[in-house]
Amino acid sequence: MKSEYSAYGAAASGGYNTVPSPGIPANSEAWALIEAARRMASASSSPDSLDQLREALRLNWRLWTLFQANLSLEDCGVPDDVRQNMLNLCNFVDKRTVAVLADPTPQSVQVLVDINRNIASGLLAGLKQAEGGSRRRPRSPSRARSTPFPPEPGWPPRLPFAFRESFLSSQDRFQSNVQLDGRSLLITGGTGSFGKRFIATVLERYKPRRLIIYSRDELKQYEMAQIFDPRQHECLRYFIGDVRDATRLEMAMRDIDIVIHAAALKHVPIAEYNPSECIHTNVNGAENVVMAAIKAGVKQVVALSTDKAVNPINLYGASKLASDKIFVASNNLSGAKGCRFSVVRYGNVVGSRGSVVPLFQKLIAQGADQLPITDSRMTRFWITLQQGVDFVLSSLERMRGGEIFVPKIPSMRMVDLANAMAPGLPHHFIGIRPGEKLHEAMITEDHARDTVELPDRYVILPNSATWTNSVLVDGALPVPDGFRYASNTNDDWLDEAGLRDLIARS
């Protein structure tokens, strides 16, 4: 049960003086915090039982109580950077502790114990650092904060990257029990933002027989192979190929069970300027994927779509609408026992290439005196890369063929996004670009009659399914007549803290 990360947090805890620091009464809440932190930091890195793990985790509740009770770590002399990091970590872990304690497993509890050990050890290291420096004046009660600081982009700087990615990917996802062990998968556009995260997730959670990255850019494949080395992951294969090339696709799909179709030309203005290229990749490429999958005997295909495919006003959206229609209708071509095709549709991906978030981050880092905004009224749906990958995997498990799966995700006004990332920085309104909408929709009133709702998603069912006797989704309820799911009428809205959380996960 011992985690490879356990030693990371324990390293900072040794040698701290057990006598209360000057100015901190032994019976104060601040000293109680220090005692709880010391107990947490010295907890066994290899507990003998789940009960010991649970008890170690409960020690962290004392830390929480004190953080939430207006205790200022500044009173203890903890430096600002240490204090900020500690509170960021605690704010993140707090949301997950209740669920883990309610239904614990050795693995999930161990992950939280390891993170909490980092929290406690960081506090002790900060206190030890404060011992050697000048002590700040304690805050007055009126200046004490009532809640932890919200997470900042780049959190947490003191945790190893692999630890952060493993924890996020194991906790923040659309629930899925899909079985990929021993199966062969191929992803088109595999060197893109989604492809990289998809490959990382599959390698972390499953043991596939083969995992093929299919893309046309040899440099991106070379760079990706430095991260995901086929010598370390024997299931990995890198195939140079274009979705425009039907013959190459058919060869690549031999003995493949599952195809994830992520390849597309996605940039709206570039597609408007190069319409033929957009059609060749997004429409003809979709048809090539379908035909190759049927000929090669592939069992399941999930195609990635976009909110821009709904009532499209730009060529990119129109091409993806055509692609969606091709994949849904292809279930008729494959027959009752042939390949099943479904579509996943979602909104803007935080942190992906071409997203506005990396653009704003770059401008802010360069010291820009204003941020460009297309229109003050504009809204968008937002999802993280990991959430997108998890949604695809969970849809793969649920699909029967012909469905369009739509996740329930939050919206945000672009002006609010800019204000959250750079408070006080002026905005420069540049006008809507060619082919751009003020608001995006993922389900319209016309699709409502074919749409059902689940707790975490909507499903647009095929209105004509000759390949199956049932298109009903277990546990789903029909949406009301006239239902519309759009970014400006969404019930779920991101605030500044929510956006920072999404950016931290991207």
The C-alpha atoms of residue 390 and residue 76 are separated, in whole angstroms, by 42
DSSP-based three-state secondary structure for 211:
strand
Find how far residue 444's CA is from the centre of its chain. 26
406 and 453 Cβ atoms separated by less than 8 Å? no
- Beta-ladder partners of 315: none
Q: Which residue has the tokens 């760079």?
A: 223
Contact 30, 63 (CB under 8 A): no
Catalytic residue selected from 196, 308, 320, 437? 308
CB atoms within 10 A of CB 377: 12
* 248: its two tokens: 């190459």
Residue whose structure tokens are 């630890």: 163
- What's the angle, vertex CA 113, arms to CA 72 and CA 9, rounded to 5? 70
Q: What SS3 class is residue 197?
A: helix
CA dihedral 290, 294, 298, 301 (to 10 degrees): 30
User: Which DSSP symbol is given to 66?
Assistant: H
* Full DSSP string of 435-493: T--SS-EEE-HHHHTTEEEETTEEEE--S--TT-S--PPTT-EEPPTT--EETTT-S-B
Residue 485, strand partner residues? 443
User: Quick one: residue 139, left, alpha or beta (phi over 0 = left, psi -120 to 50 = alpha)?
Assistant: beta
Find the angle CA(335)-CA(450)-CA(378) to the nearest 5 degrees: 120
Q: Is 308 a catalytic residue?
A: yes
217 exposed, middle or buried (CB, 10 Å; 0-12, 13-18, 19+)? middle
Whose tokens are 């099943």? That residue is 340
Within 13 Å, how many C-alpha atoms sit on residue 397's CB side?
13
Query: Strand, coil or helix: what is 411?
Result: strand
Known catalytic residues are 308
